[in-house]
Structures are given as structure tokens and as C-alpha cells.
């Protein structure tokens, strides 16, 4: 059985009353101030999709780097963050099955970096990391998307869609999904269809793998964050 893990939501640095900065996790309109090990785990999964072994190795490495010794297992932190809605896992007998179970109910949200953030990254690379200017300038380049990735991004910039709903849209050739009420009528035209069983309905779609691959690539390239409503 293959099992994949990823992080949900995003984070912000907040300043407390003592003037100290600390991270806050934000997902589906809820906020949570994580403990150090929880933050290490979550950050090791943000914009990554890791299997059990990869996650164990990465989490152990990060704890060792900070000389952290505690009595709690990786499973403890995974279960805690999953209950809180900041981590998701998916399993299956094949990699595609596990990836689809992981991604199907999630809502990919465009997370294009704004110019000030890119400018900060540029100066950090040049003056703090010593990266040559011509190499650091790559942060300003626009990502080149293939046809499937562009179609996914076009749909996501119009409205919120789960990965399963994206598959259904592409399968039906829907390009303009802005009238949201009409879109729901098209996607859930069968009386028995709901957001819970739509993943099983689109599992046989010929467009499943291209859309799943496009969403995964966009996420791994940090162009999307994942939410679970």
C-alpha cells in the first residue's frame, strides 16, 4: 500500500505582544499556532508530496538539525495536524490511486508570488546567499505552463474547484465556469452526485491523469496551495 502526505493551507508570521515573531497556520478560514515540531512537519510537506519513508527521513533530519529530542512519534504529529485540518494523506495500491485519493477532495488555490516577494527573494539570494545576479534574476521569470497546466490555472482563476471538479470540468470541455450556479448544475447533473462521491464518479475519466498531473506539477512548482473545505 502506497501512502502520500502533503500540507494544507499557508502560514503567516505574526508579532506577539512581546514583539516576538511566530508562525500561524491558516487553512479553510481557521488559524492555529503550531508547536515547533508541528511546524517542522508541516513545512517539510508544504509544496511537497512525500511517501512515508521520505517523510520519516526529512522530519528526522530537521529535528536533528535543531537538536530536538522528544517522546512523540511522527505518527502522533501527523494525526494531530490531520485532525486540525493542516495535513492530508492519501493511500492506494498504485501511485496514481494514492495521489488521486490525496488530491481529489482538495481545492487548489492559485498562489502566484507578488512582485515585492520576488524582489525580497532576489536581494536575499544575491546579498545573503551570494548567488550570481543572472541566476537570482530567474525569480522574476514567469513559469511556462503546458496546455493542461494552463487550462487548470484558467479554471482556478475563475472559481474555487476541487481536483475532482477540475477533472469533471475538463472532461465536459468547460472553459468558462464563471456563472457558478450553472456550473454546479453541469457538474452535478445526476441526482445522486455530491461532492463526496464525485471523485469516484470521475475516477474512470480519460482526463483524470492529465489533470491530476497538471495540478500536482503546479503545486510542486509553488504556484498553488491546497485547501480542504
Q: How confident is the model over 179-227, as pLDDT tens digits?
A: 676 787 888 888 888 888 999 999 999 999 999 999 999 999 999 999 9
Beta bridge partners of 225: 109
Nearest to 159 by CA among 141, 140, 181, 144: 181
- How large is the average pLDDT for residues 57-72? 90
- How large is the average pLDDT for residues 69-77? 91
Q: Which residues contact 152 (CB under 8 A, 6 or more apart)?
A: 108, 166, 170, 211, 214, 215, 218
More confident residue, 29 or 91: 91
| DSSP code for 126 | I
* Number of CB atoms found within 10 A of residue 227's CB: 19
pLDDT exceeds 50 at position 164: yes
Q: Averaging pLDDT over each range in 86-90, 128-132, 137-141, which range is the top one?
A: 86-90
| DSSP code for 9 | S
d(CA 48, CA 89): 12
pLDDT exceeds 70 at position 9: yes
pLDDT class of 141 with cuts at 50, 70, 90: low
pLDDT class of 116 with cuts at 50, 70, 90: very low
d(CA 34, CA 74): 15
pLDDT class of 120 with cuts at 50, 70, 90: very low
Mean pLDDT of the chain: 87
Q: Helix (H, G, I), strand (E, B), or coil: what is residue 33? A: coil
Nearest to 27 by CA among 39, 14, 10, 43: 10
pLDDT exceeds 50 at position 24: yes
Q: Which pTM was predicted? A: 0.85
Task: Return the pLDDT at 115.
Answer: 42
Distance of alpha carbon 137 from its chain centroid, rounded?
25
**Where are the extended beta strands (E) located within the chain?**
2-7, 10-15, 21-27, 30-32, 50-51, 87-92, 107-110, 224-227
pLDDT exceeds 70 at position 172: yes
pLDDT class of 131 with cuts at 50, 70, 90: low
Amino acid at each position: 500500500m502506497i501512502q502520500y502526505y502533503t500540507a494544507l493551507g499557508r502560514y503567516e508570521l505574526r508579532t506577539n505582544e512581546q514583539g516576538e515573531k511566530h508562525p500561524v497556520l491558516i487553512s479553510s478560514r481557521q488559524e492555529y499556532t503550531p508547536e515547533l515540531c508541528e511546524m517542522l512537519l508541516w513545512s517539510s510537506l508544504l509544496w511537497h508530496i512525500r511517501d512515508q519513508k521520505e517523510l520519516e527521513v526529512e522530519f528526522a533530519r530537521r529535528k536533528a538539525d535543531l537538536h530536538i529530542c522528544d517522546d512523540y512519534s511522527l505518527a502522533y504529529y501527523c494525526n494531530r495536524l490531520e485532525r486540525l485540518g493542516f495535513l492530508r494523506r492519501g493511500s492506494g495500491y498504485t501511485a496514481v490511486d494514492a495521489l488521486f485519493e490525496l488530491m481529489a477532495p482538495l481545492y487548489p488555490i492559485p498562489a502566484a508570488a507578488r512582485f515585492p516577494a520576488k524582489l525580497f527573494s532576489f536581494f536575499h539570494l544575491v546579498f545573503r546567499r551570494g548567488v550570481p545576479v543572472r541566476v537570482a534574476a530567474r525569480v522574476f521569470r514567469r513559469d511556462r505552463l503546458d496546455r493542461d497546466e494552463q487550462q487548470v490555472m484558467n479554471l482556478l482563476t475563475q472559481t474555487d474547484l476541487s481536483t475532482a471538479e477540475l477533472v469533471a470540468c475538463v472532461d465536459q470541455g468547460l472553459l468558462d465556469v464563471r456563472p457558478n450556479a450553472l456550473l454546479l448544475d453541469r457538474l452535478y447533473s445526476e441526482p445522486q452526485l455530491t461532492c463526496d462521491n464525485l471523485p469516484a464518479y470521475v475516477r474512470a475519466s480519460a482526463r483524470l491523469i492529465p489533470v491530476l498531473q497538471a495540478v500536482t506539477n503546479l503545486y510542486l512548482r509553488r504556484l498553488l496551495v491546497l485547501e480542504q473545505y
